[in-house]
Structures are given as C-alpha cells and as structure tokens.
Amino acid sequence: MADRKMTIIEHLEELRRRIIVMFLSLGVAVCVGYVFSWDILDFLKEPATRADIPLNLYYQTVLEPFMVRFKIAMYAALVLALPVILYEIIAYVAPALRKREKRFMYMALLFIIVFFLGGVAFCYLYILPVGLRWLVGQAGGRISPVLMAGQYISLVALLMVAVGLSFETPLVVWLVVRLGIITPQRLHKNWRYAVVITLCFAALITPDWNPITMMLVAVPMFFLYEGSILFAMLGRRGAEKRKKALEDE
C-alpha cells in the first residue's frame, strides 16, 4: 500500500482494521487484568505497606467487588495495550511519511513508552509512599480510617498515570522545537514561566495538595524540562549541519 496512492475507500478500510485491532488488544488486556486483578491490587497496596500504613480495604455493596476488579482491569489494560494502540496509530500514518520520518516515528514510540513507564515507576516508588503517609497522618490518631477499595484504587492509579504523562515532557519540548514553534534558547530564557507551569501541573495531579508530594512531582519535571532543552539544542544543531552539508553538495 505504501507503493501506490490509496483511495478514500482503502484509507477507511485500513482505518477500520486498525481500530478493530486496537479494541481487540484492549479487550484482551482487560481480560488479562481481570484474571490477575487481586495480584495487581496487592501490587497497588505495596506503597502503603512501605509507608507503614496498615491498609485494610472495604466495600459497601454486593456489586462493588466486581466493580473493583473491573476498575483494576481497565487501568491495567490501558498500560498493557498502550504499545499496541500507539503502534497502530503510527502504522496508519506511516505510508505517508518518508523513510527518515518513519524511523523517527518508531523511535518516538519507544521513547513514549519508556518515559511513561519511568514516570509510573517513580510515582510508585517515591511519590505514593510519601503522599499516603501524609494523607493518613492528617488524622492525628483522633479518627480511624475505613478505606474503600474503589476510592483507593482510583487515587493510586490516577496519580500513577498522571505522573507517567508528566514524564513525556522531554518529547513535548523536543516536538515544539522540531516544528519550529519555539527555539531552545527561548525556552531556557523563560525558565521562570516553566517553574510556575510545572508547579501548577503538579498541584493539579496531586490530589492531597501536600507540598512534599507536589515537589516530588515538580522537581523531576523541571529537570526533565531543562534536560530536554539541551537535547533539543543538540538535535537542532545536528539537523542544521546535515542541511548545510546537503546544500554544499
């Protein structure tokens, strides 16, 4: 299909096929997540254990145990099926790209997954234990917790996903520089605005509004921002040198 121009019908058929593959991968991932839901729940409870929090989760209705398992399965499916979904999106647009652009897109896919998983791991290992300890500590021993399973899973999973997305900062910075929207020098010059935006984003994705948790999110994001500017500068210089070499030839 890449050797000839596709008709509109062929484009729609290709799109339909890739959407089906994405939904099938998501469905299979949900089934896998549901089968291993209790193992995943034990995994999600581990940060509370490391924070010395005696975690007993409860439910209120007969339907809730199923809904808890299904919620766990959905969050797990988003992570498991993410590589397939991103690959299908890139593969759909690949025929319209040059060979170098295709190589870049597939490398970007790898970096998207690596940075996202790095953010999830950072949240799981460092942010969640500190945040949970601070939240539970607000009771001051005066009130006893009755923690509902569904609410705990939503808090932990959403925070992990949010921090995982925040770790895509280097790719976003590289993209806006690559498209010529802004220069690396301008980004570095306006670092104060980046600090404010980073702190606001950290406040939005940390539901406890704990300053310690917010800083644990904001500081790595800012260093990723500065590091990505350096990476973008090096990449831009390399691209300019290659362009100049082609013009000289």
Note the pLDDT tens digit of each residue in 144-196.
878 899 889 988 888 888 888 888 888 877 777 776 777 777 777 877 888 88
Alpha-helix runs per DSSP H in 3-148: 8-35, 37-50, 64-93, 99-122, 128-137
Q: Are 81 and 25 a contacting pair, CB within 8 Å?
A: yes
User: How many angstroms separate the CA atoms of 184 and 200, rounded?
Assistant: 22
Q: What is the pLDDT of residues 118-147, one digit of tens each?
A: 989 988 998 888 888 887 888 877 888 788
Confidence of residue 4 (pLDDT cuts 50, 70, 90): low
- Rounded to the nearest angstrom, the gap between the alpha carbon of residue 213 and the centroid of all alpha carbons in its chain is 18
- Residues in a beta bridge with 147: 57
Residue from 219, 193, 192, 217 nearest 203 by CA? 217
pLDDT score of 27: 95
pLDDT digits (tens, 9 = 90+) for 100-123: 777 877 887 888 888 899 989 988
**Cβ of 230: how many Cβ atoms within 10 Å?**
13
Distance CA(164)–CA(176), nearest Å, equals: 20
Region for 209 from its dihedrals, namely left if φ exceeds 0, alpha if ψ lies in -120 to 50, beta otherwise = left
Are 226 and 185 a contacting pair, CB within 8 Å? no
- Which helix (H) or strand (E) is 148 found in, with range? strand 147-148
Model-level pTM? 0.77
